[in-house]
Amino acid sequence: MSADKSHITIDFNNVLAERVGPEHGVREEELTEFAPEARKAFEEISRERSAGQHSFLDLPYDQKMVSEVKGAINELKDKFESLVVLGIGGSALGTRALQSALLPPFYNLLPKESRGAKLFILDNIDPELVAGLLKQIEPKKTLFVVISKSGSTAETVAQFLFFRGLLKKRLGERFAGNILAITDSAKGDLRKIAAAEGYHVLPVPPGVGGRYSVLSPVGLFPAGFVGIDLDSLLEGARWMDEKSKDEDILKNAALAFASALYLLCARKGKSIAVMMPYANALYDLADWFRQLWAESLGKKFSVSGEEIYGGQTPVKALGTTDQHSQLQLYTEGPFDKVVIFLATGRFREEIKILPGLEEYDASGYLAGRTLSHLLFSELQGTEVALTQAKRPNLKITLSEISAFSIGAIFYMLELATALSGKFYRLNAFDQPGVEASKHAAFALMGRPGYEKVRREIETALKKDERFIIRLK
């Protein structure tokens, strides 16, 4: 697929001061003044990449990795009716975004001859969710893909132990054939268990963190297993990499996106970034972006150790659904948001509104139109309403939703996040706040070595009964 058929347009007009006013928008002079800092950040990321850092940026070029993934798919795809992903956070959100964007709606409900294996993503430990999944699958005919780079994520390990035990009961010593582990290439308990028990294994490439792993085996194996075109996905990412070489803010999509959102947050008080797709297929891409943006940029300390409490809170919304839920707040509430529209220039299906009831004002004008025409009109109306209310907004349009364009947008947003880390002067690749909650869970569940932490937590959990209402 050529880039000409899959171009991406990013329209920044409505973040500019001339559209939404100097108090809420970025002046062109501010962009010019910021250009040297943007160039410096871009050069630092490029230099660090050349030195072997930021491995996620080189994933689209890793042919050995792709060959391993395809080999595993070819070996296993005809043996199973369902695939279940056991993972959380970056181990699940990318795959869900791929599933929503590139498989038909209600994919698992399609007739067998119209789809590949069913795909289920178990990204929580809610017992009702797990029990419900058991009613949808036959474990003997299901491949369980357990994903944890560290091999110690409590939620994933708990899921894994449950399904491992279930498979052992159903299949005896043959249970290992129904498990594939995606984990660290050299260390961790999951790696050791997989080797000892004989699971299929794919490595997470060194230096690739969970939220940057969608173009690694973490996302590629489940996607390829259900028939998503991995070559086009990675081609799109490579295309975006080539389009991201320019140091000029207005010629580099990732640099422009990062710069605009940083300036709006740091100088205009837009501490909330609402990603609002006008396509259901892109809604879970917004969910994936939430983790990427929040976990990368929400940091207490700068790289020099200064307290900065950095970051911008990402929120997801869906057009047109949330025009009837959130838009009132976005239009007339606090001036603390920038809205990022995601759109497609062409839907893969079209529905024509059938004629009827033309004598009524509320329905007559719709007859003969299409649903996509109505949706595009709603998007344009929302753009205008927000802009007139002095609410900055920008729009990313994929000419079509395809494996190519999704690979490109994944890459652009990951690179933009890395660049944003430079602007905020923080480490965009760690997650100390998440680690603290993980350690708390380890302690409360009785993991050895966390006894002191457990005592501290139990003390902190004590509450004053005066401020608890118990209704009976």
d(CA 332, CA 344): 27
Q: Under a CB-based contact definition with an 8 Å cutoff, are residues 337 and 273 in contact?
A: yes
Look up 465 and say whether it is catalytic: no
CA distance 238 to 254: 14
Strand partners, 175: none
Catalytic hit among 295, 299, 337, 422: 295
CA 428 to chain centre: 15
Q: What share of the chain is helix, strand, coil (3-state, %, to 5)?
A: 55, 15, 30
The position carrying tokens 């996040």 is 417
3-state SS assignment for residue 206: coil
Which tokens is 361 given?
A: 């004002």
**Any catalytic annotation for residue 200?**
no
Alpha helices in 147-252 (DSSP H): 154-171, 189-197, 217-225, 230-242
- Rounded-to-integer distance, Cα 292 and Cα 311, Å: 11
Is position 438 annotated as part of the catalytic site?
Answer: yes
Can you give the C-alpha Rg of the chain in angstroms? 24
Q: How far apart are CA 184 and CA 322, in angstroms?
A: 40
Local structure of 113: helix, strand or coil: helix
User: Token digits for 458?
Assistant: 């139990």
Q: Which of 112, 135, 324, 452 is catalytic?
A: 324
> Catalytic residue positions?
295, 324, 438
